[in-house]
Structure 1
Amino acid sequence: MVVDQALLLDVLPFIAIGFAAQMVDGALGMAFGVISSTLLISLGIPPAHASASVHTVESFTTAASGVSHILHRNVDWRLLARLIVPGICGAILGAYVLTQINVSVAKPIVLAYLTLMGLYLLWRGLRYKPAEKKPRVIAPLGLIGGFLDAAGGGGWGPVVTSNLLIQGAHPRKVIGTVNTAEFFITVTISATFIATLGLAAFTVATVGLLVGGLLAAPMGAWMAKRITAPHLLVLVGTMLTITSLYGVARALLL
């Protein structure tokens, strides 16, 4: 009984983090990987192992979130098809590179770029009504997003969502599509990590993140459907700016 209580106390914080991270990710199309990976690394877990744990959890949470977005009609199927293949290719490359070399040198540059994207989206959401356009740059975006997500432990949502929004795509459709595509990316990354690191890469925190994430997954799609497009731009811009600035500060101080 004592062991069970101790185990519950160990898992509960990760359940709360998984729940909160997935609520944000499902509603705004980003942040689960960033929040979860940052926490695990701060607890001393090696970056490759943290990324492996997070992506294992996301294999399940993105499946639940994707189904929910489909049911709420938040998915652009043509855009989804154009993102998946290059995203998978980038994910395989990124997961392999992370297990072989240290890619942290480029992280502050990517985060600084995402900070600028966040500030722009925030400004646009506050000042203008979004004019919907069909995005043109899709395949390269999927490739880069998949690579950075695997190599950095999070990045598919911030990179792909922000750039599609800047190109003028409808916020609700972007969030739903990017979340649904993320399932295929995370499954690919998880399989690559298992092949290179083995099952020893996964920690007890994985269980807590998984439980919390699955509980929150259906709610995010519901929120994305009901928040207006300008408000979504403001929320996405704010979240992207905050998480990116935190990442820049942490990368420069360590």
Structure 2
Amino acid sequence: MRRLVLIALLGSIAQLVDGTLGMAYGVTASTALLITGITPAVASASVHLAEVGTTLASGLSHWRFGNVDWRVVALIGAPGAVGAFAGATFLSSLSTESASLWVAGLLLLLGVYILVRFGTGKVRAVIEGRPAGKFLGPLGLVAGFIDATGGGGWGPVANSALLSSGKLTPRRTVGSVNAAEFLVSIAASIGFLFGLGGKHLPFDLVAALLIGGVIAAPIAAWLVSRLATRWLGVGVGLVLILTNARTVLNGLEVTTGPRYAVYAALVLGWAAIVTYGVRTAARRTVREAERLLDETELEPAS
């Protein structure tokens, strides 16, 4: 019972992170489950089964508020489902040792991405448009495969690529990617059920994750307007990097001295990115203030 309560709490934390950052439910929940000693394939399967419920609720909410482009959902969701099924089958076939290294490596890279994205504070201009199918198809395939094999990654990969394309507004990007994730979660879950067998999946754990996420969803919606999501992203990125770096170093049997040198280098890199982000934000604030001051001075006196 104590374990289920802990898993529900971890599910709530993952949902709070996802609700405020717009991503990272899967990578946060998977990392937390791996820490508790669950095997990588079972952890990813549990997360995706829970996400069938959370992504359905999220997709319907975005549709209700007009944030979904159904063409984008179809063109990215169908290939994403194929990639997720393939990724789930691939992960299920790996040994526990190989899977641990693979998943930790992917989560480590996703942690670096989240840290850089939120730490640097760079904002890209986005122009309303229609992304091409030849762009959405391969993107969905790759993002779905990474999501299933890493226990998460659909949001970071798909959202970042769509926003970088400059063809879809942020709200449409997030809404469409969230709606398409429902298909990805179903396909990944089916792949894990075939690969692992239903008897190997802890459905009580899945229920605990789902309940925790549902409870946290309205809290996350309330927090999103009150928290500095940028610094939450920086913190989550650091936790993902350090936690999964430990797993990778253990798997590679790195000795104590070099291991702590790697940890120190990671923390220094994190500090450098944060410092750069703070300075960039400060310069942007100064430029904006100067622009407003110039506009005020140019206004004719009444």
Q: Structure 2 length normalisation: TM-score?
A: 0.68
Q: Tell me the CA shift for residue 252 of structure 1.
A: 2.7
Partner of 2:213: 213
Structure 1 residues 81 and 182 mapped into 2: Cα distance closer, same or farther (>3 Å)?
same
Distance 1:110 1:243, change over 3 A: same
When residues 222 and 82 of structure 1 are mapped into structure 2, their CA distance, relative to the original with a 3 A threshold, is: farther
The residue identity in structure 2 corresponding to 1:28 is L
Structure 2 counterpart of 1:148, which letter? I
| 2:185 is the counterpart of 1:186 | yes
Partner of 2:137: 139
The CA deviation at 1:167 is 2.7
Structure 2 unaligned spans of 5+? 251-302
Q: What's the counterpart of residue 121 of structure 1?
A: 117
| Residue 190 (structure 1) shift | 0.7
Which one has a bigger Cα radius of gyration?
2
- In the alignment, the residues of structure 1 paired with residue 42 and residue 79 of structure 2 have an alpha-carbon distance, to the nearest angstrom, of 24
Q: Partners of 2:56 and 2:241 in 1: how far apart?
A: 29
Q: Which residue number corresponds to residue 4 of structure 1?
A: none
Q: What does 1:1-254 correspond to in 2, within 5 Å? A: 7=1, 9-101=2-94, 102=98, 110-111=106-107, 113-114=109-110, 117-118=113-114, 120-122=116-118, 125=121, 128=123, 130-133=124-127, 134=129, 135=131, 137-168=135-166, 169-203=168-202, 204-217=204-217, 220=220, 234=230, 238=234, 241-242=237-238, 244-246=240-242, 248-254=244-250
> Structure 1 residues 72, 20: CA separation in 2 closer, same or farther (over 3 Å shift)?
farther
1:3 aligned residue: none
Between 1 and 2, higher relative CO (CA 8 Å, sep ≥ 6) is seen in 1
- How far apart, CA to CA, are the structure 2 residues paired with 1:246 and 1:19? 21
Question: Percent of aligned positions with the same letter in both sequences?
Answer: 41
Change (3 A) 1:24 1:123: closer
CA distance in 1, matches of 2:150, 2:46: 13
Instruction: Indicate the larger mover: 19-28 or 62-71.
Output: 19-28
- Asked if the contact 1:29/1:176 (under 8 Å) is kept, the reply is no
The residue type equivalent to 2:241 in the other structure is L
The number of residues matched between the two structures is: 240
1:117, 1:237 within 8 Å by CA — same for their partners in 2? Answer: no
Deviation of the 1:222 alpha carbon: 7.2
Q: Identify if the C-alpha distance between structure 1 residues 124 and 213 changes in structure 2 by more than 3 Å, giving closer, same or farther.
A: same
CA distance, structure 2, for counterparts of residue 60 and residue 239 of structure 1: 27
Contact in 2 for aligned 1:165/1:171 (Cα 8 Å): yes
- 1:173-223 CA distances to partner (integer Å, 9 max, x unpaired)? 222222211111011111111122122232232221111112233565677
CA deviations over 1:133-163 (Å, ceiling 9, x no partner):
3455322111111001111111111221222
- How far, CA to CA, are the matches of 1:247 and 1:22 in structure 2? 19
Deviates more, 1:237-246 or 1:196-205: 237-246
- Offset of 1:31 from its aligned partner? 1.5
In terms of mean alpha carbon deviation, does 53-62 or 209-218 score higher?
209-218
- Look up the equivalent residue of 1:180 and give its one-letter code: A
For residues 84-133 of structure 1, the C-alpha deviation after alignment (integer angstroms, 9 at most, x for no partner) is: 111011011101111113455555664565456435533663x55x4113
Q: Residues 118 and 45 of structure 1: is their aligned pair in 2 closer, same or farther, counting only changes over 3 Å?
A: closer
- AA aligned to 2:146 is L
Q: Compared with structure 1, are the counterparts of its residues 160 and 103 closer, same or farther at alpha carbon in structure 2 (3 Å cutoff)? A: farther
Deviation at 1:247, TM superposition (A): 5.4
Contact 2:118 2:233 in 1 (8 A): yes
CA distance in 1, matches of 2:158, 2:235: 14
Query: In 2, distance between residues paired with 1:170 and 1:237?
Result: 21
Change (3 A) 1:238 1:74: farther
What TM-score does the superposition give when structure 1 sets the normalisation length? 0.79
| Worse-matched range after superposition: 84-93 or 207-216 | 207-216
